[in-house]
Amino acid sequence: MDYLPLTKKEAQSRGWDEVDFVYVTGDAYVDHPSFGVAIITRVLESQGFKVGIISQPDWKKASSFQEFGRPKYAFFVSSGNIDSMVAHYTAAKRKRSEDAYTPGGKAGKRPDRAVVVYCKKIREVYGDVPIIIGGLEASLRRFAHYDYWDDEVKPSILFESGADLISYGMGEKQTIEIANRLSNGESIKSFTDIKGTCYAVETKDTPLYGVECPSYKNVCQSKREYAIATRIQMDEQDHIRGRLIKQRHGNMMLVQNPPMPPLTTEELDWVYSLPYMRYYHPSYEQLGGVPGIKEVEFSVTHNRGCFGACNFCSLAFHQGRYVTSRSKESILSEVRLLTKRPNFKSYINDIGGPSANFRNPSCEIQKKNGLCKAKKCLAPKPCPNLVSDHREYLEILREARQIEGVKKVFIRSGIRFDYLMLDEDKTFLHELVEHHVSGQLKVAPEHCSAVVLDYMGKPHIESYLKFANEYFKISKEIGKQQYLVPYLMSSHPGSTLKDAVELALFLKRERIRPEQVQDFYPTPGTVSTCMFYTELDPYTLKEVYVAKDLHDKKLQRALLQYFDPKNKQFVLEALKKAGRRDLIGNSPKCLVNDNSVNRNSFNNKNSKARKPYGTKRKNKQ
């Protein structure tokens, strides 16, 4: 077992004169199943194909794309684990100084809009070689989409890149079919029937079935049309009931085939059993290693999909809402494998996924009919058909912590507390608090305003408060001082300055003092980004307030950290602007003093064990 080749020399050491496929990625090569590149290349290898990887090529030099020569069949291209623009820029559009997916954590090793840049260079060098694009950047930009960084609507990335095919979503099945058909001599131009892919045809050759959403021209000219297009695209992302979608781009038609069915338990078990090296390529060691491995090296993914479907999260558009999971045996086998790793320190960092405590589809109905169109399983109120059952997940955790060499099993990928509180059997909650919290548990209430939470597609704050009370009650009973790390978001569409004031008062009342707050980040492929751009709710077409001005966003963010002296002037301005001068002064109800920040709130020694948190919010793309 070894890493797949990064160089021609490494390929030759395997006895290869050529490779079947070249995978170009904007990330460093990390052969771990938390990295999409590792999964897809190992899947190709398992089918008998020779795969070479070009990692973070110098996009200005043709020679960087010629390491293996022209592949026998095709190039696969991805920006890496996250969108290249998200990797490069903060929500305030400031350049990031670090990149966790680059050796040494250095920024600048991939271009902006990496998929487009890489594909154009490959075309320049190799002409009509087949190119398949995938990963988050390609998947979430498959239709005409609003681009926050250029503040404009861009066409499908299929047309911008000049690629032949988009493999969207989780791409194992698509990849196998594409590779086998290419190896059988079929032309990639004939691949118009593969689920989970997008292709382009002249408008005269457009399929007659399916549903057509507003054209690229129309969504550029009309925000209402953009909102309508978004709703169609979101509503059809279901592998059972989803229809083919078409979107005209000039004299060409983008065609999205229905989603590929998610992997079954047996298929997931197989994917995670492939011979990953579970670490970054040794050539990066002298450069400082790849920081992105640290959080996932001793973590286990047990599920895929998320029926929570928050509006600001791209998971529903990429992985889908239908939850599938690995078998208990597969998960425990991986835990045992991790205990044999040289760097293992007796701690499993996570047994989780998009939402750690989801193991099955949310109800029996969706197994036959798919997930309900235009409805959410958990928000604004839980669906009466929803089944909350943690028994199997609890069994897995119990057995994992009994494995020889394991001292502790943590859950760090995020618990859906609203789903947890629906389970009448509180055994999992008790064992979560007692055995699986590393001093603090990350949860995501996001806001407290019912209006804002409705726009987010999140449950109302009462659900969080109920969970928090239970969490601290159990912690006290078992003699542990543990904390909650609440993720909070400022400036989400629908959040006014008054809503931000309401959240600041909630934080003060609950003695929550966040060290970091996430500004809403409009990334492709989410309902919230549609609301940000159009200022319309795509499901009602009613107007939505959006804080777009950077100063307005700064005021909302400052309110969430009203206790920080550096925010004093912004907090004062925000309270005056919101008509809440009653919150300026020395009384206990006030957020800020005219002369100095009310430090009594910040230094309150009677805090309910809610300490400031310093862990950055994980990007859910």
Alpha carbon distances (Å) from 459 to 32, 310, 361, 527: 34, 10, 19, 16
The enclosing H or E element of 301 equals strand 299-301
Between the CA of residue 581 and those of 90, 279, 476, 561, 586, what are the distances in Å? 32, 55, 39, 18, 12
pLDDT at 594: 78
Tell me the pLDDT tens digit for each residue of 387-444. Answer: 999 999 999 999 999 999 999 999 998 899 999 999 999 999 999 999 999 889 999 9
Q: Is the pLDDT assigned to residue 607 strictly greater than 80?
A: no
DSSP-derived pairing of the beta strands 440-446 and 483-490 = parallel
Least confident of 61-70, 206-215, 271-280, 595-604: 595-604
Give the model's pLDDT for residue 1.
Answer: 67
Helix (H) or strand (E) segment spanning residue 352: strand 350-352
Task: Specify the pairing of strand 347-348 against strand 408-409.
Answer: parallel
Gap between the Cα atoms of 455 and 380, Å rounded: 10
Lowest mean pLDDT among 130-139, 276-285, 344-353, 509-518: 509-518
**Mean pLDDT throughout 290-304?**
97
For residues 308 and 313, give the distance between their C-alpha atoms in angstroms, rounded to a whole number.
10
Return the CA Rg of the chain: 25
Count how many residues are written for the chain: 621
Q: What percent of the chain has pLDDT over 70?
A: 96
Which residues of 82-139 form beta strands (DSSP E)?
A: 131-133
In DSSP terms, 441 is beta-bridged to 484
Q: What is the DSSP letter of 95?
A: B
Whole-number Å distance between alpha carbons of 305 and 353: 8
Output the six-digit token pair for 544.
């939505």
The 10s digit of each residue's pLDDT in 57-81 is 999 999 999 999 999 999 999 999 9
* Span 181-212, pLDDT tens digits: 999 999 999 999 999 999 999 999 999 999 99
Q: Left if phi > 0, otherwise alpha if psi is -120 to 50, otherwise beta: which for 430? A: alpha
Contact, 142 vs 166, CB < 8 A? yes
Fold that domain 8-192 belongs to in CATH? Rossmann fold (3.40.50)
Q: Where are the domains of the chain?
A: 8-192, 478-621
The answer to whether 30 touches 279, Cβ cutoff 8 Å, is yes
What is the residue type of 58? D
- What contacts 9, CB < 8 A, 6 or more positions away? none
Q: Which amino acid does the sequence have at 422?
A: L
**What pLDDT band is residue 618 in, cutting at 50, 70 and 90?**
very low
pLDDT score of 215: 98
Instruction: Give the count of beta carbons closer than 10 Å to the beta carbon of residue 389.
Output: 16
**399-413, pLDDT tens digit by residue?**
999 999 999 999 998
Which tokens sit at 61?
Answer: 């030099």
How confident is the prediction for the chain on average, in pLDDT?
94
- How many other C-beta atoms lie within 10 A of the C-beta of residue 202? 9
pLDDT at 596: 47
